[in-house]
C-alpha cells in the first residue's frame, strides 16, 4: 500500500474486526476475563478513538493506555524548573508548543510568557539554534523532551552547535527512555496485561531487539504497530493470533518504517551526546532507574542544568488530579474525578489533558461518555 486512504479501507477493517472478535471471544472465555492490551504510545490511543476503533471492537478486548506520551509523564517539578529558566532575563526559552500549557506548581510556560518571560515556540531544536545565531548576546535554552524518537534530532543539533562554535545555546534535557518504563509497568502488581502494541516511532530509532525481554522474561507478546486504523487492527490481530497459538514473540507490523536493528546513525549521535541518568522521576510512576538521559561531561557547555542551575524539586500533583492512575492503566480517563469538569483542555489540571498524545485529551475529544439527561417528573396541574 502506498497511500493513506488505503490504510483506512472500510472493507478491510470489517474483515479484521470480525477476525479479532472471534479470537478475543475465544481467549477471553479461556481466561475468564476480558483481554487487556496496552498500547504504549499516545499516538495509538488517539488513532483508536479518532477513528472509532474502540466502538468497533468487542468488549472482550480492553485497551490499557500506556505512558508513551513524553509531555504527559513530565513531573511538576521539572515544569517548575522550566519556568525558573524562562524567567531569567538573560534567557530566550524555546519549547515545542504542547509543552507550553503543561501546569507546574507555579503555573505554566504559557503563563510565564504572558507575565513577560521570553518563551518562544519552535518546531525543532534547529529553530532554537537559529535563534542563538541571531541573538549572540542572549542565552537560548531549548526544552529537550521526548523518547528516543526525538533524541537524535536534539543530539545532532548539539553536534552542529559545537561544529559552528555557538556557545550561547544549551539544552534543558528531559529526554526519557521507553524500555525501563515498560519494565516498571510489567513489574507493577496493579496490572494484568496480556500483550502490548509497541511504539512505532520509538522503534524506528531503536529497532525491535530491545523488546526481546518482554517475550523472553515476562512471557508477553508484543507487536510494533503503525498509526493508521488498519495498522492498529492488523497489529491486534497479530497479537491475538500469538496468544491463541501460545507464542510470545516480538513481531513488527510497521515494517515499512521500522528496521529490525534500528537506525545506526541516529543511535550513534545519541550515544555521543547523552548518557543514562541513575534515575528520573516520572509523573504518576515515580522514580525509575536509568529511564532518562543527561548530557555527557564533554558537552557540559551545552547543558542548561550545569550552566544556570535549576531548583530541582520534587512536587506532588494536586490531590484531585489522577494522572498517575491513568498513566499506570489503573483507571480510565473518564473515571478521574475531575475529568471534563475541573480539568479540560482549556483549563487542564494535569498533563494528560494537554498533550496531543495524552489519553485524557483523546477521551475528551473523541471518546467522551454519553451522559443521559436527567429525567424530570411531570407534575399534574
pLDDT tens digits, 252-276: 999 999 999 999 999 999 999 999 9
The yes-or-no verdict on residue 318 having pLDDT over 80 is no
Mean pLDDT of the chain: 89
Q: Which of 226, 229, 221, 210 is nearest to 148 (CA)?
A: 210
Q: Which domains does the chain have, with CATH numbers?
A: 4-68+179-252 (3.40.50.11750)
pLDDT score at 328: 67
Instruction: Give the per-residue pLDDT at 86.
Output: 96
Model pLDDT for residues 220-232, shown as the tens digit of each residue: 999 999 999 999 9
Instruction: Using DSSP bridges, classify how beta strands 250-252 and 279-282 pair: parallel, antiparallel or unpaired.
Output: unpaired
Q: How confident is the model at residue 373 (pLDDT cuts 50, 70, 90)?
A: very low
The beta-strand segments (E) located in 218-357 are: 222-224, 250-252, 274-276, 279-282, 286-289, 293-295
- Are 221 and 197 spatial neighbours (Cβ–Cβ below 8 Å)? no
pLDDT at 367: 67
106-138 pLDDT, tens digit per residue, is: 889 999 999 999 999 999 999 999 999 999 999
Cβ 378 vs Cβ 344: under 8 Å = no
pLDDT tens-digit readout, 132-160: 999 999 999 999 999 999 999 999 999 99
The torsion of the CA quartet 265, 266, 272, 278, rounded to 10 degrees, works out to: -140
Rounded distance, CA 131 to CA 196, Å? 41
Q: Model-level pTM? A: 0.86
Residue tagged 503503525 (cell numbers): 226
Amino acid at each position: 500500500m502506498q497511500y493513506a486512504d488505503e490504510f483506512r479501507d472500510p472493507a478491510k477493517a470489517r474483515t479484521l474486526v470480525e477476525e479479532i472478535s472471534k479470537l478475543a471471544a475465544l481467549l477471553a472465555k479461556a481466561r475468564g476475563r476480558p483481554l487487556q492490551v496496552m498500547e504504549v504510545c499516545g499516538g495509538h490511543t488517539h488513532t483508536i478513538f479518532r477513528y472509532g476503533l474502540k466502538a468497533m471492537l468487542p468488549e472482550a478486548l480492553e485497551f490499557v493506555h500506556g505512558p508513551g506520551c513524553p509531555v504527559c509523564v513530565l513531573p511538576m517539578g521539572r515544569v517548575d524548573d522550566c519556568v525558573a529558566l524562562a524567567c531569567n532575563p538573560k534567557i530566550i526559552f524555546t519549547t515545542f508548543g504542547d509543552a507550553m500549557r503543561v501546569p507546574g506548581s507555579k503555573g505554566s510556560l504559557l503563563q510565564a510568557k504572558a507575565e513577560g518571560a521570553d518563551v518562544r515556540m519552535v518546531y525543532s531544536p534547529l529553530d532554537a539554534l537559529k535563534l542563538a545565531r541571531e541573538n549572540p548576546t542572549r542565552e537560548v535554552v531549548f526544552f529537550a523532551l521526548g523518547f528516543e524518537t526525538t533524541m537524535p534530532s536534539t543530539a545532532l543539533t548539539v553536534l552542529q552547535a559545537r561544529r559552528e562554535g555557538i556557545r550561547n545555546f544549551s539544552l534543558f534535557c528531559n529526554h526519557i527512555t521507553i524500555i525501563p518504563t515498560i519494565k516498571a509497568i510489567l513489574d507493577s502488581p496493579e496490572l494484568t496485561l496480556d500483550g502490548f502494541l509497541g511504539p512505532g516511532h520509538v522503534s524506528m530509532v531503536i529497532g525491535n531487539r530491545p523488546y526481546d525481554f518482554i517475550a523472553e522474561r515476562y512471557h508477553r507478546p508484543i507487536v510494533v504497530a503503525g498509526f493508521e486504523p488498519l495498522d492498529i487492527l492488523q497489529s491486534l490481530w497479530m497479537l491475538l493470533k500469538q496468544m491463541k497459538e501460545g507464542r510470545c514473540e516480538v513481531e513488527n507490523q510497521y515494517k515499512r518504517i521500522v528496521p529490525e536493528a534500528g537506525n545506526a546513525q541516529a543511535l550513534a549521535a545519541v550515544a555521543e551526546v547523552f548518557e543514562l541518568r541513575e534515575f528520573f522521576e516520572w509523573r504518576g510512576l515515580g522514580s525509575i532507574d536509568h529511564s532518562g538521559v543527561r548530557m555527557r561531561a564533554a558537552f557540559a557547555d551545552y547543558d542548561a542544568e550545569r550552566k544556570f542551575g535549576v531548583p530541582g524539586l520534587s512536587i506532588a500533583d494536586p490531590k484531585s488530579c489522577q494522572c498517575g492512575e491513568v498513566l499506570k492503566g489503573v483507571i480510565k480517563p473518564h473515571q478521574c474525578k475531575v475529568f471534563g469538569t475541573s480539568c479540560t483542555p482549556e483549563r487542564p489540571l494535569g498533563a494528560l489533558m494537554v498533550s496531543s498524545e495524552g489519553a485524557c485529551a483523546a477521551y475528551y475529544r473523541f471518546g467522551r461518555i454519553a451522559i443521559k439527561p436527567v429525567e424530570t417528573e411531570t407534575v399534574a396541574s
